[in-house]
Amino acid sequence: KPGYAVGISSGGGSFDVSADETRNIEVQAAQNKGTVSGSVTGMGAALAEGAAVTLKGTSVADGQEKTFTGTVTDGGYQVGDVLEGTYGVTLEKSGLTVMVTGGGMVSVADGDITNDIEISVSLNTGTVSGTVKDGGGTPLSGGTVALSGNSTVDGKVRTFSAVTDAD
């Protein structure tokens, strides 16, 4: 059956049986499994620490959708005991943009150790713009504008500032 490894544990794997003879043998079947691991790189890699890496797809053995998870630790991740099949690889954390090598898909076969599924992480950024004017509506230059707030990635307070020009 696809997705299983089958072994005969008695009789040495081969034997002869005569016409009127009955022989009992023990057959063992186990689902094929593999491991997927890789690195987390990019400007936001340190902020991905502790995030869940999810493999979601269809098992060859039973045709059912399966989900397996691992955790980003020390710049990498490992997801073990993944049943044979094809899976999409994702990492989700608020405030991060994620790209996975190979289009985010990985195929797992029995005993596979897939080590090169890289997840590249960058910070989501935005732009704040506007004009600082005096009471008469004239644009001011040389003023400092500061923006402060909690990061959606790690909850820390971040402060940004810029100096105005007259435009």
Pairing of strands 33-41, 119-123: parallel
Q: Which residue has the higher pLDDT, 113 or 42?
A: 42
Distance of CA 45 to the CA centre of its chain: 12
- Count CB-CB contacts under 10 A for residue 6: 9
Tokens of 12: 């040495």
Q: Examine the pLDDT at 166 and tell me if it is beyond 70.
A: no
Q: What is the pLDDT of residues 60-117, one digit of tens each?
A: 988 999 999 999 999 999 999 999 999 999 998 888 888 888 778 888 888 777 767 7
Q: How far apart, in whole angstroms, are the C-alpha atoms of residue 79 and residue 38?
A: 9
> Are 164 and 143 within 8 A, CB to CB?
yes
Q: What is the pLDDT of residues 1-28, one digit of tens each?
A: 677 777 776 655 566 777 788 777 777 7
Q: What's the pLDDT score for residue 84?
A: 92
Which residue, chain included where needed, has tokens 């005993």?
A: 111
Write the single-letter amino acid at 80.
Answer: G
**E strand or H helix that includes residue 119:** strand 119-123
Percent of the chain residues topping a pLDDT of 70: 92
Q: Examine the pLDDT at 154 and tell me if it is beyond 80.
A: no
Question: What predicted TM-score, i.e. pTM, was given to this entire model?
Answer: 0.67
Q: Write down the H helix ranges in the chain.
A: none
Q: What's the pLDDT score for residue 76?
A: 92
Give the CA dihedral 9, 15, 18, 19, nearest 10 degrees.
60
Q: What is the pLDDT of residues 114-137, one digit of tens each?
A: 767 788 888 777 788 888 888 898
Tokens of 107: 């195929």
Q: Which residues contact 93 (CB under 8 A, 6 or more apart)?
A: 47, 48, 51, 153
